[in-house]
């Protein structure tokens, strides 16, 4: 794991760890919602209530390679229940998760979190998102794990064990309980849409960025566009098409035929293209910066144009790279 939740401080305490927990999952939800729009589906609904039936069922039909046991299924309209799996040290109640969520929301609205000794740690613009991310995940860096609990992690457990909450049938956890498989389950996106909303609640308490924070003194982007990697290709016209590919499914299936097993699937593909942008450096010296390129949908599932505020939450980072910009130099990348 790149970001383990526990371990030596020099392993766990990486730069902006909590912030990156937020950003990575926010990007997953943004991309998922964009894909839903493409299939004429509305945005994913946050899992705001743990006491309502979960309409999304999931039947994975895959096995854990290290145990050779199939992941359990979850029927439609499953009712989430308190967990009492003593052998695995997974004992929690829905009340616990609701209480932790309320405490986190209260701290966001108040602008500070409470340390074990009662000290207030501000959720400011510089470090607040990092503090909140470490609480929400949580990791060993949580400022007060006894008070704020395990909001995100135990929501995963609540869904992962919903088919056998008391271990009566000796069934293991579902796919949403394991890092490698969690994103297969549609309930994963409902769970993280709810977590994402908590972070946006915090973001709304901050002042908007000013021009100095958003700008880069002496450096201006003059133009930006894309172009296909072919002669005489028009600017800002991309080519997409359907492509049929094969994937090796030899591991992970719940049956074992002789030889490899390949599955064919059709997916969207694009012709190679190049970013082209012109940067003007008038600072009087060579400058270095980071270029980030995002893509966002123009319309929703009903073909209704999206506002900039709506697009803001749907921006997907396509690329990120460093740029060396010499004085009066205009790189063509």
pTM of the model: 0.89
Residue 324 backbone class (left: φ over 0; alpha: ψ -120 to 50; beta: rest): beta
Say which DSSP state 241 is in. Answer: E
Q: Which of 56, 98, 137, 317 is catalytic?
A: 137
pLDDT of the residue at 257: 55
Last residue of a domain, one of 205, 234, 265: 205
Beta strands in 152-272 (DSSP E): 219-228, 240-248, 262-270
Domain-embedded: residue 76: yes
Q: What confidence tens digit (pLDDT) does each residue in 139-153 have?
A: 899 999 999 999 999
Stretches where the chain sits below pLDDT 70 are 1-2, 250-259, 328-333
Structural domain includes residue 195: yes
Q: Is residue 76 domain-shared with residue 133, that is, in the same domain?
A: yes
- Provide the CATH number for the domain around residue 113: 1.10.1280.10
Residue 217 resides in a domain:
no
Are residues 262 and 290 both part of a single domain?
Answer: no
Report if residue 215 sits inside a domain.
Answer: no
Active site includes 137? Answer: yes
Regarding whether 301 and 198 lie in a shared domain, the answer is no
The reply to whether 101 and 189 lie within a common domain is yes
271 and 290 together in one domain: no
Specify whether 143 is located in the same domain as 255: no
- Residue 138: domain span: 9-205
Does 133 lie in the same domain as 55?
yes
Dihedral angle, C-alpha 250, 252, 258, 263, nearest 10 °? -50
CB 251 within 8 A of CB 203: no
Q: Which residues contact 170 (CB under 8 A, 6 or more apart)?
A: 164
Q: For 97, which DSSP code?
A: H
Q: Give pLDDT tens digits for 42-80.
A: 999 999 999 999 999 999 988 887 777 899 999 999 999
Residue 299 counted as domain residue: yes
Question: What is the per-residue burial (b if ≥16 Cβ within 10 Å, else e) of 120-151?
Answer: eeebeeeebbbbbbbbbbbbbbbbbbebbbbb
Q: Are residues 138 and 265 in the same domain?
A: no
Tell me, yes or no, whether 114 and 263 share the same domain.
no
């Amino acid at each position: 794991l790149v970001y383990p939740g526990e371990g030596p401080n020099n392993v766990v305490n990486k730069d902006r760890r909590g912030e990156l927990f937020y950003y990575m999952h926010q990007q997953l939800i943004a991309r998922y919602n964009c894909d839903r729009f493409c299939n004429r589906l509305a945005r994913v609904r946050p899992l705001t209530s743990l006491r309502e039936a979960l309409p999304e069922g999931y039947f994975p039909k895959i096995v854990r390679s290290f145990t050779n046991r199939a992941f359990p299924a979850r029927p439609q309209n499953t009712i989430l229940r308190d967990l009492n799996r003593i052998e695995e040290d997974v004992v929690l109640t829905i009340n616990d998760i609701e209480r932790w969520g309320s405490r986190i929301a209260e701290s966001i609205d108040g602008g500070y979190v409470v340390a074990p000794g009662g000290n207030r740690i501000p959720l400011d613009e510089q470090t607040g998102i990092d503090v909140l991310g470490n609480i929400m995940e949580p990791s060993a860096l949580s400022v007060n794990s006894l008070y704020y609990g395990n909001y995100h992690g135990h929501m995963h457990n609540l869904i992962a064990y919903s088919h056998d909450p008391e271990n009566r049938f000796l069934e293991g956890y579902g796919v949403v309980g394991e890092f490698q498989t969690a994103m297969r389950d549609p309930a994963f996106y409902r769970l993280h849409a709810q977590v994402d909303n908590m972070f946006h609640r915090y973001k709304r308490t901050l002042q908007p960025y000013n021009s100095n924070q958003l700008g880069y003194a002496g450096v201006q982007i003059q133009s930006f566009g894309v172009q296909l990697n072919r002669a005489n290709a028009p600017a800002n016209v991309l080519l997409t098409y359907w492509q049929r590919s094969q994937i090796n499914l030899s591991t992970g299936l719940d049956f074992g035929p002789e030889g490899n097993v390949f599955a064919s699937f059709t997916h969207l593909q694009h012709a190679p293209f190049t970013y082209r942008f012109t940067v003007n450096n008038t600072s009087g010296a060579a400058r270095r910066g980071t270029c980030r390129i995002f893509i966002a949908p123009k319309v929703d599932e009903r073909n209704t144009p999206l506002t900039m505020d709506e697009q803001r939450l749907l921006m997907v980072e396509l690329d990120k790279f460093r740029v060396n910009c010499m004085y009066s130099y205009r790189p063509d990348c």
